[in-house]
Structure 1
């Protein structure tokens, strides 16, 4: 059997059976501080796929950073096959500023594959594509809801992609939802380059959510197991089958005012379910928000003060909502995802 070769990235070589942190130059701040795209490379002794795991493409979505931190300390990685490229913070600029965007207000996830001589966002997208994505076979991109919103842990995948459907089922998030590719997104650029990407959503911007962190960590390990990169020991089993949804609906504020939500993430809803209400400050005018779908609540606002048209609830449509809600409660049992002594 041929000896495994070094893995090359950012002008450095990582030997088989070792791990290294590679800092790829990106830019320099106005105060002369250098900015890097930092990648933790774990290059196994045995052959296997190259998987990238990325977080904080939107700088305020910090839950993915915590998931990567925990992943890099996980015991199953000690005898890994293949290669893991872990990038806890892609958008350093937004991360430092507690912002979704880059300093020029561009959304990094709308400029892929980028240009080597374009805007700051475009250059960063280009570096990430060339140094990380194109060196990989498959990827997991970690996200959360925006600030003031929360998402139920969920996997989004490209419709009619059987490989991603298989990996999404292995991930084992409470909900697996088909989601079309958007122009300029990492997923679209990666798939055009032949690299399939699962997108994980869970929790809220600028907040840690323990259930979302553990679901993301456990799911990533299960995908690595499915790819043959790690053994089964130390990889938690999913407590229930994911709910698969092919469509979803947003419910918006019918008026401006004070919002009260009556359903929580993971709850089953049906036509006629009152999701919440928006009232004026005097309490003499109130408008209910009523579901016209059968499904599972996968996202909601946390803001009590809303404008007319604000997104309040996100419902994944599924005919088996009531049964699915029971399985989701098992998914969200934090103690069931890991034993307490396994929290890292």
Structure 2
């Protein structure tokens, strides 16, 4: 359970088990919470996420080796989205890395992958002057996401993908301008013992409590990959359309040889967006078909009826030859073939 379990229970949350945590799935309802984030702001408990501290004189150089991005050039107070890959190029986890000080980084991992990320970072640390520590128990994480989030927090001149010291309810916190909804927003890292006071202070500013269910439809509309769906050790960043996060100009890093080979040859299949002509949404695992032959050419990784757009959207892996926007495919939706058009991601992007 997170430090906010009793708060969620008192708010009437419906809970679900997720990666060993008892997490709020919804409060008032998925649609209401989704629209609250798109139109104003939602308040999320993300304390299940993992935090790993990397410290020492070689911290930047070590992370350049262990991860696909270049972290050594990241300025203190900034963040970067990156990945930890296997030697074969497959994604072990996608991460946000914050540089808190010259020799101190905070690596934020998905809840289900925290142990793997910690173990792999420790393994790759041989030969580097660094300390790698699982600091997950030191932090609770609360997010305020939505177009009204900045007005509610008054963060000052904090840039996107930046982090700084801040105060909420008289408690010292780390405030990051990051998120996973496609909207502007902030993530508040606080001590577990301060979580209730921080949550209540933020809630009093007007955001609606929001659960994991609406977080999933929000990130899907924004075309954001979810580990275990769009990302896995069987998928590379290039297949997922995330080649931009790989610093190929680095001399070497874990997975470099496999990723350079795939870059030269081109991936066989890639992630695409699909929009269907039926009210029934494609779901994970539904076959993607060639409409002329009925043969399966791919599979849906995530799908839902988009609350914002009012029609079904899905992401799927398909062969490169049928991945161009405008290509007509089909999806087997419970035995019925539904027309599906390939579209560019994201499905939704707010006016900024």
Give the TM-score band, short-chain normalised. Answer: under 0.3
Specify which structure has the bigger relative contact order, considering alpha-carbon pairs within 8 angstroms and separated by 6 or more residues.
2
For normalisation by structure 2, the TM-score amounts to 0.26
For normalisation by structure 1, the TM-score amounts to 0.27
